[in-house]
Structure 1
């Protein structure tokens, strides 16, 4: 199929041709006609499947005939809600690129940065608004934007939005928009709470399941390492020094875990950046740019911070901590091996994470190959890990004097 078969107009086709889009992806083929038919749509699609274009292109098409506003200025007719600042920025970049040969105007608003410039842009009028929930409600409360003319409301990464606690904000935003509107809901997974939200706000939606989870990462070579929790740092250093080449994205569950790993890798001479929720927007953007520009070869991130971020030429993903939600694993490894290139995913599994691996393998309907030739192998049958010799000390576990803490040295 070609893009022109989707009945997009010439200016949109010209813009996407310049971006070297050759043919629509499955999610675009299935979703675009439904959006153009003004149906409510629920699309299950993962990062890297082209889902932003699946809603951006038809929205631009629907608004195209009213791109030249009258004397009263432009009104917000399409609203895209995104859970994170990084995702919102990326969506706005796409809208900007696709609308290059039109007079349609889009902008993005998000927290963690000055509100005044955003007010100025809104005052001048926009057709399409991309926003994070908190900042949108702040600006609405200050009467800086009007949602009375919304024709299409998009909820992007709905599962992540609800995981981050935005359910009440999303419902409030939906109520602030006109009753008669088109709603498009995009989600990587469809847990019960997303289904419940969809059932309460969408009208007779069409469903598109573009990327079943079991089709994960055909171009990704997956390897599983059974390793004691206390040896994960050593294994990580061993791999990045001797095995893995190129750009690496490492996933850790907590901000504290990221800080420890970043300190260790920097201490060993690696160029490392990190992104997590406690960093300012500027710091996160700077870290990401350094990684994309090759000034850093390793990026460490939490799932929330990294969700939806597009990184070209990513050679490998390391699952330092195994995710407890199987679909999250699919997302992570899907960051590499994109656009026909090959990639690798290395997963470190400690004894208490084995049930997560079982769930992941069940979802993928495959067995991940185990690498048992490494210096820190944990017995795959081990159900728990012993960190100290039982009975060695009569004192309570982990009791250490200040002096011993200072003198504690690890080889890395």
Structure 2
């Protein structure tokens, strides 16, 4: 790690003023460690293997020099060419990468054209590709289709970026990747970006890189304990729903939350369960169409809602050696997706391996923000919890316990157990199945053709909220409130202050409505008589 004396800031990297202004608009005061190290090397044209933890700023580390190189080339270019190709394992990452590059090149006018091929409209993509955009972003399967069809030409490509490189082969894209290499030019600059250096990444290195610089920063897989806390609640399967409902209804979890489960069915069951308690949430899994997944993430990042229930079901498929045909293998949840300003990651289902825990935890405490990971650990999960503990101790070079017990007395919220048990039992397999179908039908509202309409009719855009009740289970109204007698004494002050704010809000709305009504009654001329 560089000291303060040799620290290199953005304005010292000989970047174009338009890029520096865009960086300022985004609000980055200084580069992260990986950006400080990687950007100068990439500006020199070197091949680089970039290994850094999730949330460390890897996308900007390759996007900034990529934009700078294109600006340099265009100053004396004779023709429009596709000069850069970015390969990612998931459609969500494609969209996020496009957004990041578009932000950083926003002041370059129409000089830099960026195309994301992750959508399903191949016909429109063919037309866009014929205009030879400067940067093409794609998943392996989609770019292979266009290469074989002759819709895109990479023979004049100057830069190749492979993001989340360790997932390309593990997601089953090995055959597609080797096909892509056949269409690449003999000489180009390459960059592999990865959270871990696996055997698959080493194999890629042999295929696409030439004498690369390997940037493996000496930092733990996760941010320091002062920034990210790890806690657990010892709970068996039948106790988890009661604890979760108590955490939310007693306002013990503040801010934005990502709840992880291990299957798609669990996504919907948990959403339906929280609906019983008037806790709004939305789901994210690989069965949802791309447009819905990306829209969910965008709305969450914009603060439209505070709870996402995400499935990490790919781990189960890998364990069984099979993958459901319904699932989109170009979808990723615990890896790569940039959930912004997440305060808490909840492992409702404990992850099935250590790596999955690390990547789930990486969804919070990004940048300089603080966060927490709270895991429900049953007897069956204890062995994996111990393995995670060992990994964290090694990463933090500590002998002390990292995953501490969450101070939660189950006996104080015993009343929640009965309520939760009834609500959880009411959610049948049929209700879950209907919920899955209903959620997928929402894709029609996310049609690209409707974007213009919704930009002019913002009120109708509320239809697109993904945290709306699915209503496949009968709602028990009494569960939405918490009677004072079941609130633990130690938490009554918090609960009462929250209830007062809620009542105050309702009273204000009632008063405004009443005043408007009385105004119409007292002023008959303001009311139009119906013909």
Q: Give the TM-score band, short-chain normalised.
A: 0.7 to 0.9
Shift of 1:270: 1.3
- Structure 1 7/327 Cα, relative in aligned 2: closer, same or farther at 3 Å? farther
Residue 236 (structure 2) pairs with residue 228 (structure 1): yes
Residue 339 (structure 2) pairs with residue 339 (structure 1): no
Q: In structure 2, which of residues 50, 66, 81 is the aligned counterpart of residue 59 of structure 1?
A: 66
CA–CA separation in structure 1 for the residues paired with 2:164 and 2:388: 21
1:381 is matched with none
Equivalences for residues 118-133 of structure 1 within 5 A: 118-133=125-140
CA–CA separation in structure 1 for the residues paired with 2:207 and 2:384: 32
Kept after mapping to 1: 8 A contact 2:347/2:375 = yes
Shift of 1:188: 1.0
Q: In structure 2, which of residues 170, 176, 191 is the aligned counterpart of residue 163 of structure 1?
A: 170
For residues 17-65 of structure 1, the C-alpha deviation after alignment (integer angstroms, 9 at most, x for no partner) is 2222211110011111221222221111233211111111111222222
Shift of 1:321: 2.1
Q: In structure 2, which of residues 250, 261, 264 is the aligned counterpart of residue 255 of structure 1?
A: 264
Q: In structure 2, which of residues 386, 402, 418 is the aligned counterpart of residue 358 of structure 1?
A: 386
Shift of 1:69: 8.0
Gaps of 5+ in 2: 1-7, 313-331, 413-475, 480-531
Q: In structure 2, which of residues 291, 294, 307 is the aligned counterpart of residue 282 of structure 1?
A: 291
1:92 is matched with 98
Kept after mapping to 2: 8 A contact 1:45/1:188 = yes
Structure number with bigger Rg: 2
- Provide TM-score, normalisation by structure 2: 0.67
Residues paired across the two proteins, number: 378
Equivalences for residues 128-207 of structure 1 within 5 A: 128-207=135-214
1:386 is matched with none
Shift of 1:110: 1.0
- Structure 1 210/10 Cα, relative in aligned 2: closer, same or farther at 3 Å? same
2:107 is matched with 101
CA–CA separation in structure 2 for the residues paired with 1:312 and 1:20: 14
CA–CA separation in structure 1 for the residues paired with 2:409 and 2:205: 47
- Structure 1 9/294 Cα, relative in aligned 2: closer, same or farther at 3 Å? closer
1:398 is matched with none
SS of 1:176's partner is: coil
Residue 273 (structure 2) pairs with residue 264 (structure 1): yes
Kept after mapping to 2: 8 A contact 1:248/1:315 = yes
RMSD, aligned CA: 2.4
Shift of 1:151: 1.4
- Structure 1 324/202 Cα, relative in aligned 2: closer, same or farther at 3 Å? farther
Kept after mapping to 2: 8 A contact 1:217/1:333 = no
Mean Cα deviation higher: 344-353 or 289-298? 289-298
Gaps of 5+ in 1: 378-409
CA–CA separation in structure 2 for the residues paired with 1:200 and 1:170: 10
Mean Cα deviation higher: 25-34 or 261-270? 261-270
Mean Cα deviation higher: 266-275 or 335-344? 335-344
CA–CA separation in structure 1 for the residues paired with 2:220 and 2:125: 38
Q: In structure 1, which of residues 239, 258, 282 is the aligned counterpart of residue 247 of structure 2?
A: 239
Mean Cα deviation higher: 31-40 or 332-341? 332-341
- Provide TM-score, normalisation by structure 1: 0.85
Q: In structure 2, which of residues 400, 403, 408 is the aligned counterpart of residue 373 of structure 1?
A: 408
1:401 is matched with none
SS of 1:299's partner is: strand
Kept after mapping to 2: 8 A contact 1:250/1:317 = yes
SS of 1:305's partner is: coil
For residues 296-332 of structure 1, the C-alpha deviation after alignment (integer angstroms, 9 at most, x for no partner) is 3210113423432223332211012222332332222
Shift of 1:9: 2.4
CA–CA separation in structure 2 for the residues paired with 1:56 and 1:175: 25
Kept after mapping to 2: 8 A contact 1:44/1:211 = no
